[in-house]
A = this chain, B = another copy of it.
């Protein structure tokens, strides 16, 4: 491929980009689309195109880009949460590193490469791309210090930027923890591997265990039920509701979720004695034993303070580590209910099975890659598709097919990876949507690294096809784009991880840097430049040392919440006297069955209402079905 071919590719990419942006700009101005494009208002903006024949509506404009760009971190934080800010930071970080790398490479490295050998240069647009690479510099040249310097500048600036990003995101995360309103997930622990007992139901076991060992901090709990029996339970509950209504028409506060979810039969406290007797009668009639059978060995346990919940989640509970396994509960709207029924003992096996599945998928993916590689050979292409012969004789089409088509086909194949990995992560048994996506995200990441860096060893020149649209350093952006995103202006996010995916980005960037440095070391070795090689080794060492420092200094805050912060928050709650209010919310926060939503219209807290669409959205967050409940929620919240 020559410069002209590269420019053709770039031109097509830019043209497609402009067309898509224009389309977006026009479509978002149509009043009928307002509910799609303005579900979340990043920059508050009145819908002013009331005139249906206004010309402005059909002319693309760029002002929204400027407005979106000018939005400060605080505005994004207020509108989209920490995750949104971190996502924006990743994009900005990638652009910064890319600009620095582009500057130093164009101004310093490219000229050195171009004049690297004593040769007669062609006109620049007809030059082969090879002339601009390090391959053009002759062996043992004194000019390799420029490449080494470029490596130092890029690595150091990336590390400095990473450090400040990590520092500020850590601060943001801490501020998020302290500043967020009391969330049920802070007070709740998910318990799995509840031991089976002949004498007690799972619910009784949980109550016994936690009231014995955590008498001061245990509030109540809520069992998880077999997903398949939801309908049956609903009928039972309705029957029970009718029975209770005939017995005591004046009874207050009968809320369905408690009848449904068992365990916390708190709502019955307000009933008078007659009702109590009816309840026990029903229990004797065998309704409760039936419910018992549907219980799964998993439960949400509510604690009095955040600190108590964190402690219960971190401590090893039982002398058999496969029993009473605790972890902090995900947010109510983040819970992946169907996976909660999986016995904990299976989880490790499922993890291994999906790991193997993902590895097999990576190898199966080699098939399309080698097929695409075949396409890059022009004569082979015209042999496979004889009707293309005439077209391929034209110079422009030739450039298009060899320079652009293979990368497009490969990209289309690459799009198959994220859904496949999401499927694997579902089978894996993650208990939260965010955990599932994080797991899929890491799998996609390994998949991309494998494909970009290592498959090319097996299948040759694919790397050049890929390099048109991806470079070593923008993997974080690729990653962030590949995974359904987590898009600010439109989608209502289902969870807030508090920037927990930043460490993945950090580690990937360090990995990319070190890999670049190692490749450079190899090239300097081949080109016989001992000075440049010698200077690259300490750079690798210091990059790894920097990574270790960040791992020590910042990373623990992303894994565990600091006790100091939690205790302070618990005390503030106590001083403000909102403890009882929080307990009340806790009892209804985690409900497996969507019936509860009807009673929640008065709730102030978004998260408690999140259950409304929990069973509707089985796929990615880009599922258009999930938009409508999201809209309702926003209205509720306003």
Q: Which of A87-95, A383-391, A560-568 contacts B (4 or more CB under 8 A)?
A: A560-568
A555: chain B residues at CB < 8 Å are 321
Is A467 close to B, CB under 8 A? no
Q: Are B310 and A562 in contact (CB under 8 A)?
A: no
A174: chain B residues at CB < 8 Å are 319
A311: chain B residues at CB < 8 Å are 311, 315
Is A318 close to B, CB under 8 A? yes
How many monomers of this protein are in the complex? Answer: 2
A213: chain B residues at CB < 8 Å are 563-564, 567
A288 → B minimal CB distance (Å):
27
A595 → B minimal CB distance (Å):
36
Q: Are B560 and A316 in contact (CB under 8 A)?
A: yes
A348: chain B residues at CB < 8 Å are 548-549, 552
- CB-CB nearest in chain B for A322: B553
Question: How many angstroms between the C-alpha atoms of A321 and B549 in the bound complex?
Answer: 11
Is A485 close to B, CB under 8 A? no
Q: Are A552 and B321 in contact (CB under 8 A)?
A: yes
A453 → B minimal CB distance (Å):
25
**Residue among A317, A322, A564 with most chain B CB within 10 A:** A564
Is A37 close to B, CB under 8 A? no
Is A352 close to B, CB under 8 A? yes
A567: chain B residues at CB < 8 Å are 213
A343-370 interface bits toward B, Cβ cutoff 8 Å, 1 = contact, 0 = none: 0000010001000000000000000000
Residues of A in contact with B, size category: 20 to 34
A317: chain B residues at CB < 8 Å are 562-564
A470: chain B residues at CB < 8 Å are none
Is A314 close to B, CB under 8 A? yes
Is A484 close to B, CB under 8 A? no
A554: chain B residues at CB < 8 Å are 321
Q: Are A321 and B553 in contact (CB under 8 A)?
A: yes
A563: chain B residues at CB < 8 Å are 213, 315-318
- CB-CB nearest in chain B for A564: B318
Is A556 close to B, CB under 8 A? yes
Q: Are A315 and B549 in contact (CB under 8 A)?
A: no
Q: Are A556 and B352 in contact (CB under 8 A)?
A: no
Given contacts A314-B314, A317-B563, A319-B557, 4 further A-B contacts (CB under 8 A): A314-B315, A316-B556, A317-B564, A322-B553
Residues of A within 8 A of B (CB): 174, 213, 310-311, 314-322, 324, 348, 352, 545, 548-549, 552-557, 559-565, 567
29 contacts between A and B (CB under 8 A): A174-B319, A213-B563, A213-B564, A311-B311, A311-B315, A314-B314, A315-B560, A316-B559, A316-B560, A316-B562, A316-B563, A317-B562, A317-B564, A318-B562, A318-B563, A319-B562, A319-B565, A320-B553, A321-B552, A321-B553, A321-B554, A321-B555, A321-B557, A322-B552, A322-B553, A324-B564, A348-B548, A348-B549, A348-B552
